[in-house]
């Protein structure tokens, strides 16, 4: 009896194996249609929707290509890409973070060199200078910049009116000096007893680099081979002045280590918890929808107006079987039409010189998103924008920079000690990059 | 010819009817999974720990260089220290509270199922959801904790953004999240203890405390050993809550070994180095478990 059961069981198992072998999904690929895998991350549902609409349009224009879009989480995007490439099954086209993955992947020879494709359709001189520095590696191009985003100064006009403070300008030539900025921040700080219920400003500790540059200092030398913070008194001075906003003057709340702790900075600005906010230009998309009078200005300056830019690139895997079709997709993603869809909604800023001319601005300026006078910010993006330092150094080094700066922001360590530690730890990594 | 055929068919037949063969066949899904997804990667990563490998370019044999570098890597030492801090902070308190909870929930009181369920709920809740909700609770300006502290005139710390408080804050969440699991195991252990012992003790005039001390605790020692060993292993491997809540920060104050290992392997393009950390971690867990089993002889009562 027992043995017969076993025999039956074996038959069943064999049947199952046979069936599962025969159940391979049948590829129902239309003839001559090239299927491209395209992988991105979801920054917001709006962005994904925009990408999907764009791809739909692309497939209408290119009936011989079918694009399959996979949107994951940003935090895992590059890890996933890395393992997919290692397994020889990477998507043909993908988003690639500029800091630092574009150069890290390129260095390892997994990106398709698209220089000749690019030159046949685009002119690198059309791109804003910052993007040229980002995209071109040793004279070659391995990815096309999607757009540009940079920290700017947002403010709640209502709080400004109440405090009787004039608005900061969007024109970089009229950028507030540090003194004027500090004065405004003080006026915008409201106390109830000894508890502050409204702070002047938030966000400088998240984006300290532009202020270091503005004061004529730097954390790294020009070619990013060395950390020079210990020998840059101007950089240290800027950092101390930023910390003073919170520690000495009490006009800034404690920086949340993660932006998603509790209320988002945007919500703090909207609900009048802070008067000014330093955040990426992308935040305008959300801020414009939050139904409060939001204004945008350039960052305050010490000596020169400056901010740092970045944004993801669209790149092609070297192992793709369809380089030509993949390029057509990247070319479409680099088109003015595709870019301006996101620009008009406040998420992106354009990365072409001509889109910052008087006529160019008309193509995207959207009164329901961009506050009055926003067009004056044009020069900020064409003249005063520098590439984000993390574009040029390995992630590990950038993490150490932030870790050491955290000790300065949050653990009361003196700036000189922090600078020494930082250089000592970062320099060996920069040397081997 | 015919003999040959008969022999071979007999061979197949005897295999098909042998118990060992069937044991392996029916175990094979699990066994294959273990071999392919556990044993092989474990061996491979041991090999990788002697190489420089970024997944994209060919690997380079570097001998014990990774291990030598570990010795000099202050981030590694800090992460190791944080791991020990986390374990010492989580395990003793977590085990003690879950034991007390188990005893409390072993009574015949109204709504006992509800309470057991309530305490078990965090265990099955995803770490992501838990992490995000607790981030809100910890918010220094608008969070619940600092609100409560303000009521009694204490200025609460900036929980997750302070290098001093971030780790205790994470420890608290992880104790809360792990309570239910240990509690269920303790409950099972408690219900194993025969009533006759308690009855005998009562006849001898033992009070509640004496019964707990002389009956419950000793008879629960095998369960306790299991709970302690499992808790220590899992706290050495902690990753998810920290990944969600602090990303190892601020200033690496919550960076534990597994988090640093993940960063090295997948963010810093140092798969070999990450593997070396994994093996140091393995060794630590192994030694810690060995020591516990050694010492358990002195306090376990079977």
pLDDT in tens, A107-152: 999 999 999 999 999 999 999 999 999 999 999 999 999 999 999 9
Q: How far is CA A97 from the centre of its chain?
A: 8
Nearest partner of A412 among B163, B246, B79, judged by Cα: B163
Contacts across the A-B interface (CB distance below 8 Å): 106
C-alpha A281/C-alpha A151 separation (Å) is 6
pLDDT for A244 beyond 80: yes
Alpha carbon separation from B82 to B78, B144, B238 (Å, rounded)? 6, 26, 11
Residue A433 forms contact with B (CB below 8 Å): no
Chain A residues near residue B267 by CB distance under 8 angstroms: 78-79, 395-396, 399
Chain B residues near residue A81 by CB distance under 8 angstroms: none
SS3 of A70, please? strand
pLDDT digits (tens, 9 = 90+) for A342-365: 999 999 999 999 999 999 999 999
**Closest residue of chain B to A106, computed from CA coordinates:** B56
C-alpha A273/C-alpha A279 separation (Å) is 15
List the domain boundaries for chain B.
2-48, 65-296
Chain A residues near residue B252 by CB distance under 8 angstroms: 403
pLDDT for A259 beyond 60: no
pLDDT digits (tens, 9 = 90+) for A177-230: 999 999 999 999 999 887 788 899 999 999 999 999 999 999 999 999 999 999
- With residue B82 as reference, give the H or E element that holds it: helix B74-104
Q: Are the beta carbons of A110 and B251 separated by less than 8 Å?
A: no
**Closest residue of chain A to B133, computed from CA coordinates:** A262
Chain A residues near residue B250 by CB distance under 8 angstroms: 257, 406, 409-411
Q: How far is CA B67 from the centre of its chain?
A: 25
Residue A406 forms contact with B (CB below 8 Å): yes
Q: Does domain B65-296 have CATH number 3.40.47.10?
A: no
Q: Are the beta carbons of B139 and A261 separated by less than 8 Å?
A: yes
Q: Are the beta carbons of A105 and B267 separated by less than 8 Å?
A: no
Share the mean pLDDT of chain B.
88
C-alpha B279/C-alpha B282 separation (Å) is 5
Check residues B246 and A309 and name the one with the higher pLDDT: A309
Structure tokens at B134: 């607790």
Residue A109 forms contact with B (CB below 8 Å): yes
> Which of the residues A261, A398, A404 would you substitute to probe the B interface, choosing the one with the greatest number of B C-beta atoms within 10 Å?
A261
> Mean per-residue pLDDT for B100-110?
87
**What is the structure's pLDDT at A5?**
60
Chain B residues near residue A105 by CB distance under 8 angstroms: 56
**Closest residue of chain A to B161, computed from CA coordinates:** A257
Share the mean pLDDT of chain A.
90
Residue A120 forms contact with B (CB below 8 Å): no
| pLDDT-wise least confident of A302-306, B215-219, B271-275, B284-288 | B215-219
C-alpha B229/C-alpha B225 separation (Å) is 6
For B204, residues 6+ apart whose C-beta sits below 8 A from its C-beta are none
Instruction: Band the pLDDT of B14: cuts 50, 70, 90.
Output: confident
| pLDDT-wise least confident of A213-227, A230-244, A282-296, B157-171 | B157-171
Chain B residues near residue A403 by CB distance under 8 angstroms: 249, 251-252
The model carries a pTM of 0.82
Q: Are the beta carbons of A6 and B17 separated by less than 8 Å?
A: yes
Residue A26 forms contact with B (CB below 8 Å): no
Chain A residues near residue B56 by CB distance under 8 angstroms: 82, 85-86, 105, 108-110
């Amino acid at each position: 009896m027992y043995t017969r059961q076993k025999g039956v069981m074996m038959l069943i198992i064999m049947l199952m194996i046979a069936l599962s072998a025969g159940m391979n999904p049948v590829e129902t690929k239309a003839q001559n249609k090239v299927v491209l895998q395209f992988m991105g991350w979801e920054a917001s549902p709006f962005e994904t929707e925009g990408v999907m609409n764009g791809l739909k349009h692309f497939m209408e224009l290119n009936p011989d290509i079918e694009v399959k879009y996979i949107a994951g989480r940003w935090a895992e995007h590059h890890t996933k890409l890395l393992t997919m490439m290692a397994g020889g099954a990477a998507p043909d086209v993908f988003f690639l973070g500029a800091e630092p993955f574009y150069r890290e992947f390129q260095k390892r020879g997994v990106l398709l060199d698209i220089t000749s494709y690019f030159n046949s359709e685009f002119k690198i001189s059309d791109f804003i200078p910052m993007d040229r520095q980002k995209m071109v590696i040793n004279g070659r191009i391995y990815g096309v910049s999607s757009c540009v985003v940079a920290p700017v100064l947002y403010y709640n006009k209502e709080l400004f009116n109440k405090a009787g403070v004039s608005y900061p300008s969007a024109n970089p030539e009229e950028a507030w000096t540090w003194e004027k900025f500090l004065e405004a921040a003080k006026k915008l700080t409201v106390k109830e007893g000894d508890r502050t219920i409204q702070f002047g400003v938030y966000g400088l500790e998240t984006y300290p680099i532009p202020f270091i540059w503005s004061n004529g200092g730097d954390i790294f030398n020009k070619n990013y081979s060395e950390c020079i913070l210990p020998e840059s008194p101007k950089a240290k001075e800027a950092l101390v002045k930023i910390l003073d906003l919170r520690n000495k003057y009490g006009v800034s709340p404690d920086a949340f280590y993660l932006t998603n702790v509790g209320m988002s900075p945007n919500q703090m600005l909207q609900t009048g918890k802070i008067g000014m906010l330093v955040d990426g230009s992308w935040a305008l998309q959300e801020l414009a929808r939050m139904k409060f009078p939001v204004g945008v200005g350039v960052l305050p300056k010490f000596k020169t107006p400056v901010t740092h830019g970045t944004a993801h690139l669209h790149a092609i895997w070297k192992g793709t079987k369809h380089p030509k079709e993949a390029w057509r997709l990247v070319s479409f993603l680099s088109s003015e039409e595709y870019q301006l869809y996101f620009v008009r909604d406040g998420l992106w800023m354009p990365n072409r010189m001509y889109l910052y001319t008087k006529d160019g601005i008309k193509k995207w300026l959207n009164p329901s998103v961009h506050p009055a006078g926003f067009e004056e910010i044009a020069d900020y993006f064409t003249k005063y924008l520098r590439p984000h330092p993390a574009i040029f150094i390995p992630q590990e080094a950038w993490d150490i920079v932030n870790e050491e700066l955290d000790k300065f922001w949050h653990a009361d360590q003196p700036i000189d000690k922090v600078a020494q530690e930082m250089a000592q730890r970062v320099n060996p990594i920069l040397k081997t990059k | 010819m015919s003999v040959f055929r008969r022999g071979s068919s007999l061979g197949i037949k005897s295999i098909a009817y042998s118990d060992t063969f069937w044991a392996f066949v029916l175990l094979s899904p699990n066994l294959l999974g273990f071999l392919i997804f556990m044993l092989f990667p474990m061996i491979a990563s041991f090999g990788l720990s002697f190489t420089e490998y970024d997944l994209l370019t060919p690997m380079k044999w570097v001998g014990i260089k990774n291990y030598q570098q570990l010795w000099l890597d202050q981030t590694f030492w800090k992460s190791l220290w944080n791991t020990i801090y986390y374990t010492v902070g989580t395990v003793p308190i977590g085990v003690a509270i879950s034991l007390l909870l188990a005893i409390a929930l072993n009574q015949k009181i109204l709504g006992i199922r509800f309470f057991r369920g309530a305490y078990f709920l965090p265990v099955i809740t995803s770490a992501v959801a838990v992490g995000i909700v607790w981030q809100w609770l910890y918010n220094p300006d608008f969070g619940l904790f600092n609100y409560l502290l303000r009521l009694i005139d204490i200025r609460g710390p900036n929980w997750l953004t302070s290098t001093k408080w971030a780790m205790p804050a994470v420890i608290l969440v992880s104790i809360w999240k792990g309570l239910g699991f240990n509690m269920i195991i303790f409950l099972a252990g408690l219900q194993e203890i025969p009533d006759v012992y308690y009855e005998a003790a009562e006849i001898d005039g033992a009070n509640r405390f004496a019964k707990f001390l002389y009956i419950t605790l000793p008879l629960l020692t095998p369960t306790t050993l299991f709970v302690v060993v499992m808790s220590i292993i899992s706290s050495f491997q902690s990753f998810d809550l920290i990944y969600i809540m602090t990303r190892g920060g601020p200033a690496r104050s919550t960076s534990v070994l597994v988090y640093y290992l993940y960063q090295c392997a997948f963010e810093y393009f140092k798969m070999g180095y990450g593997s070396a950390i994994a093996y140091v971690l393995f060794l630590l867990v192994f030694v810690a478990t060995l020591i516990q089993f050694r010492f358990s002889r002195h306090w376990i009562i079977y």
